[in-house]
Amino acid sequence: MIKLYDYILSGSCYKVRLMLNILNVEYEAVPVDFYPGLEHKKPDFLALNPLGQLPVLTDDELILRDAQSILLYLVSKYDAANTWFPEDAATRGQVAMWTAFGGDEIMAASAARLHDVLNYPFDIDQQRKSAHAAFLILDDHIAEQEIKGFDWLAGTSPTIADIACFPYVSLSEDGGISREEYPAIERWLRRVMDVPGFIDMPGVLQHWRS
């Protein structure tokens, strides 16, 4: 049985919840008191992930950390049609590239959110600036894809790259990062929300409406 060590407000945990739901995989969620309990920095959790970060996914003996790696594991195991991590070499390379973008550059938007919501001592101006730089790259890329007739970050159908990038982009306003300047991103977010099996997390749909 798959267990997800989960925190409701974590966009990284949400990536995994989203993927599990889309693939219709049953799992047990183990809530971790990330805040205010800081349980992810305590010995029990550090035994699962010495980096002290969420999410962690276990599948019997297997222990995985890092949302992007977990996405890859889930689609490798449960996506029989291979659409979420396509086999074509060039597409696969691009999927991996944009998946990594979701775990690296986009995380500046997560840092800004942690600063604004939970008072993390980050340099907020710097994080917002980095997030805007990443969003600009993403917006340009999506616009180019659309010109070519493609709706997704890589390939011709939604992939783990879209799932890896979606949460912190859609939650950016929690961290004071407006998306007014990124119309292509807005169109892409809407398409991700229409993927069968899509689920919300607190904030995502609200931001969309307001």
Partner 1 sequence: MKQIDSATLNQWYVIQSCTDLTQTRPRHTRLLGSDILAERLDDGGLSVWLLSATGEQMRQLPVRECYDYVWTTMGAPEGEVFSMPEFYEEGRRMVVCGIATVQTSPGRIIENFLDMSHFPFVHIDVLGAEPETEVNNYKVNLRKDVNELWATECGFYQPKAMASATEGIEVDYQYRVANPFAAILYKTCPGRDDAMDLVGILPQPLDETNCDIHYFMLVFDDVNSDQELIQFQQGILMQDRIILENQRPRELPLERGAEITIRADAASIQYRRWIKDMGIGFGTL
**Which of 3, 21, 23, 35 is close enough to bind partner 1 by CB under 8 A?**
35
Comparison of 44 and 87: residue with beta carbon closer to partner 1: 44
Q: Does the footprint of partner 1 cover residue 197 (CB under 8 A)? A: no
Nearest approach in angstroms of CB 32 to partner 1 is 7
Q: What's the CA gap between 157 and 149, in Å, rounded?
A: 11
Q: What's the CA gap between 23 and 205, in Å, rounded?
A: 21
Q: What's the CA gap between 110 and 11, in Å, rounded?
A: 8
Binding part of the chain for partner 1, among 20-28, 32-40, 61-69, 139-147 by CB under 8 A, reads: 32-40
Strands 27-31 and 56-59: unpaired
Report the run of H or E that residue 6 belongs to, with start and end: strand 2-6
Q: What's the CA gap between 180 and 186, in Å, rounded?
A: 9
Comparison of 37 and 93: residue with beta carbon closer to partner 1: 37
Comparison of 39 and 151: residue with beta carbon closer to partner 1: 39
Nearest approach in angstroms of CB 48 to partner 1 is 15
Nearest approach in angstroms of CB 19 to partner 1 is 19
Strands 2-6 and 56-59: antiparallel
**Any idea what DSSP says for residue 134?**
H
* Residue 198 to residues 19, 144, 185, 193, Cα–Cα distance (Å): 8, 25, 17, 6
Binding part of the chain for partner 1, among 4-12, 48-56, 67-75, 91-99 by CB under 8 A, reads: 4-12
Nearest approach in angstroms of CB 11 to partner 1 is 11
**Which of 173, 182, 188, 189 is close enough to bind partner 1 by CB under 8 A?**
173
